[in-house]
């Protein structure tokens, strides 16, 4: 039986379709560092409620970010099923962390970032995130009198946690590869 390849729809922003979730996360953070990604997401949220256009001089940046975030969400959706595999297990020893290292994560989520993916996709579907991302992108690039009518704060908070968890996974994979 052939193994099914995952398509995270990354061809529009990464130049190629990545079929590995970890590879896609690494590519995402090569294009966007964590602070820049979180800042742009916050700007998109803010501008979706204003009658101004975000990045008026170059709106393609926002659309490129939308495409990459959409692929990232698809990748972490697939990764939520891999949390129990041995290579993705959380470190056994207790992790001493400062509040700055945690970001938006709790200590438990820091030890096992896959918990975020599982919690998020219990509350929201992939379709919900697609709709959320499309709405805030559309409303941040247009001059509308009203913003999105649905709750956008909760998906925004979940997406911030997803970004923190994804960065943490990329860092841990890089450390694991250097120690091998």
Q: In this structure, is residue 53 part of a structural domain?
A: yes
**155 lies in some domain:** yes
Query: In angstroms, what CA-CA distances link 153 with 12, 98, 162, 174?
Result: 27, 26, 14, 32
Kindly state whether residue 36 falls inside one of the protein's structural domains. Answer: yes
- Across the range 124-145, mean pLDDT stands at 87
pLDDT number for residue 15: 57
pLDDT for 57-91, tens place per residue?
888 888 889 999 998 998 898 888 776 554 544 55
11 pLDDT band, cuts 50/70/90, is low
Give me the number of domains the chain comprises.
1
Identify which has the larger pLDDT, 7 or 106.
Answer: 106
In sequence order, the 6+-apart residues with CB closer than 8 A to the CB of 116 are 105, 109, 158, 161, 162, 164, 165
In which domain, by residue range, is 64 found? 11-85+97-179
Q: Is 24 exposed, middle or buried (0-12, 13-18, 19+ CB in 10 A)?
A: buried
Q: Are 72 and 161 contacting, i.e. CB atoms less than 8 angstroms apart? A: no
Res. 120 pLDDT band, cuts 50 70 90:
very high
Residue 148 lies in a domain: yes
Q: Is position 169 within any domain?
A: yes
Question: What distance in Å separates the CA atoms of residue 180 and residue 178, rounded to the nearest whole number?
Answer: 6
Is 92 contained in some domain? no
Q: What is the pLDDT of residues 54-66, one digit of tens each?
A: 777 888 888 889 9
Measured distance CA(126)–CA(132) in Å, rounded: 10
**60 located within any domain:** yes
- Please report which confidence band the pLDDT of residue 1 belongs to, taking 50, 70 and 90 as the band edges: very low
Q: Which of 45, 41, 38, 13 is CA-nearest to residue 139? A: 45
* 89 vs 91: CA distance, rounded Å: 6
């Amino acid at each position: 039986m052939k193994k099914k390849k995952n398509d995270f729809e990354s061809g529009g922003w990464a130049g190629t379709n990545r079929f590995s979730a970890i590879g896609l996360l690494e590519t995402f953070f090569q294009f966007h560092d964590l602070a820049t990604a979180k800042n742009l997401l916050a700007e998109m949220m803010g501008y979706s409620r204003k009658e101004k256009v975000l990045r008026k001089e170059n709106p393609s940046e926002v659309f490129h970010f939308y495409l990459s975030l959409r692929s990232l969400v698809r990748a972490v959706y697939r990764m939520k099923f891999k949390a129990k595999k041995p290579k993705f297990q959380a470190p056994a020893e207790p992790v001493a962390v400062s509040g700055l290292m945690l970001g938006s994560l709790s200590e438990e989520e820091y030890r096992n970032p896959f918990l975020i993916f599982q919690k998020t996709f219990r509350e929201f579907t992939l379709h919900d995130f697609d709709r959320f991302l499309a709405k805030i992108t559309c409303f941040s690039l247009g001059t509308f009198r009203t913003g999105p009518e649905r709750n956008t704060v909760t998906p925004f908070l979940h997406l911030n946690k997803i970004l923190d968890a994804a960065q943490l996974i990329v860092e841990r994979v890089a450390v694991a590869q250097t120690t091998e």
